[in-house]
Structure 1
Amino acid sequence: MDVRGMLALVTGGSDGIGREIALQLQGLGAAVIVTGRSAEKLAAMQALGFGTIAGDLSEAAGIDAIAKGVAGKPLALLVNNAGVGSDYDPANAATLASAARCIDTNLYAPIALVTRLLPQLSAQGKAMIVNVTSGLAIAPRANGAIYCATKAALRSYTQAIRHLLKGSGVHVMEALPPLVATNMTSGRGGKMMTARDCAAEIARGIRADSDEVAVGQTKILRLVHSISPALARRIMIRY
């Protein structure tokens, strides 16, 4: 997809992977609107020439604000990138609120935005939806049960709507990042991919109209899973 002159919306685009995706798209000639929760970070993005919309995607009001913020605009690219983790513990009912926030942000919000913005996307003749999932959508790790579940569900949803929208002019792509150095992963051990390098691979996938982009080490996980799903699960469950 040639994004030059097109309008893109990147959720969670004021920080981390989303910010780098927004910068990549801007560099390719797109007009980009980013969403986020931090007024300070949104102001910094606005200073770089981005449109901004404040909204917490774990809340209906945040989804409404974003949908209204792009209403009537020639939106051609929707990147559902915003995501949060969860401190869910199955032995602690107090963590259910964290689980609910994770589910609402990572799964319900992308579904809601696709549904509400699809008429605008369809009206462009050629458009794209990019859902950012995770390598953990392929095989989960025990300490991220809810996060992994949301990403696996979003992966399934993405594959289904790609089929449903075939021939509509709206292409659906999934991006599966590995462990990436962001504020959300701060404190995690192990080698991490930079957000910039991750975003660059996603941008290349957008330009190539790819169905699926396994980023970085996710390529290896996808290969292992294709050979032996059980082995992939054993490797990742303690990751």
Structure 2
Amino acid sequence: MALVTGGSDGIGREIALQLQAAGANVIVTGRSAEKLQAMAGLGFGTIAGDLSTAAGLDAVVAGVSGKPIALLVNNAGVGAMDYSVDDPANLATAVNCLHTNLDAPIALCAHLIPALRAQPEAAIVNVTSGLAIAPCGSGAVYCATKAGLRAYTQALRYVLKDSNVRVIEALPPVVATNMTAKRDGKKMTAHDCAAEIVRGIRTGKTEINVGMVKMLQLVHSISPALARRIMIKF
């Protein structure tokens, strides 16, 4: 059984659909009752919960209590790409981003690792971003959350290295979702992004660089400073 957070829309929805097509029993979380109802109509288990709040997190944990979760996909995320660093009025946006993108995945791992350990084989997939490798100037807080989740994922992988729980990081590029609707330029489809992530899970990868992130990783391996100079203006 798989739990996909933010699984009623965007990349998460496509991951859920592709896992289901591969035979998995999938539960998705989301904030939109309408979108969750649509997913329920497709045969998914659903849990309503805003992961930026303690109540939402508690609802998700309670919703999977006692269930044989073997795959946790921490996909839910919110953007803060127009965050103004000199405007205290934007701090609520920053806090929401931090809670959803970083605090919630850490909390869900803490709550669900015992259940994952009870399965013969299990995995955690933390969806970060190419911006976790090198940040862009237009999204300081968003980049910080994804870089923080990347560091947590790498440390968690080491902690669980002798267990049955595989820890995977998926790093998407810019993907065509509601979050990026106002951003110009080339975007990967959510379907194609999810396909690379699901393929990486099935083939045993621990780090899944999706689309153009492969090139960014190559540049970063040669010169981290060059990667930062390229991405900071993105």
Same fold at TM > 0.5: yes
d(CA) in 2 for partners of 1:73, 1:91: 45
- Any stretches of 5+ residues in structure 2 without a counterpart? none
Gaps of 5+ in 1: 1-6
Amino acid at match of 2:10: G
Alignment partner, residue 145 of structure 1: 140
SS in 1 for 2:180: coil
Give the secondary structure class of the aligned counterpart of 1:184.
helix
TM-score by length of structure 1 reads 0.97
The residue type paired with residue 186 of structure 1 is A
The aligned residue for residue 118 of structure 2 is 123
CA deviations on 1:61-93 (whole Å, 9 max, x unpaired) are 111000000000000000000000124211100
State the alpha-carbon separation in 2 of the partners of residues 69 and 209 from structure 1.
Answer: 28
How many residues are matched? 233
Residues 22-77 of structure 1 show CA distances to partners (whole Å, capped at 9, x for unaligned) of 00100110000000000000000000000000000000111100000000000000
Matched, 1:19 2:20: no
> Normalised by the size of structure 2, how large is the TM-score?
0.99
- In the alignment, which residue of structure 2 is the partner of 1:84? 78
> RMSD value over aligned CA atoms?
0.5
Q: What code does the residue aligned with 2:209 have?
A: A
Runs of 4+ in 1 over 2 A off after TM superposition: none
Q: Which residue of 2 aligns with 1:195?
A: 190
Measure the CA separation in 2 of the matches of 1:48 and 1:179.
27
Give, in whole Å, the separation in 2 of the partners of 1:164 and 1:93: 37
State the identity as a percent.
71
Specify the alignment match of 1:112 in structure 2: 107
Counterpart of 1:214 in structure 2 is: 209
Aligned pair 1:170/2:168, yes or no? no
Alpha-carbon shift at residue 189 of structure 1 (Å)? 0.6
How far the C-alpha of 1:187 sits from its partner, in A, is 1.5
* Amino acid aligned to 2:142: Y
Q: CA deviation at 1:125?
A: 2.3
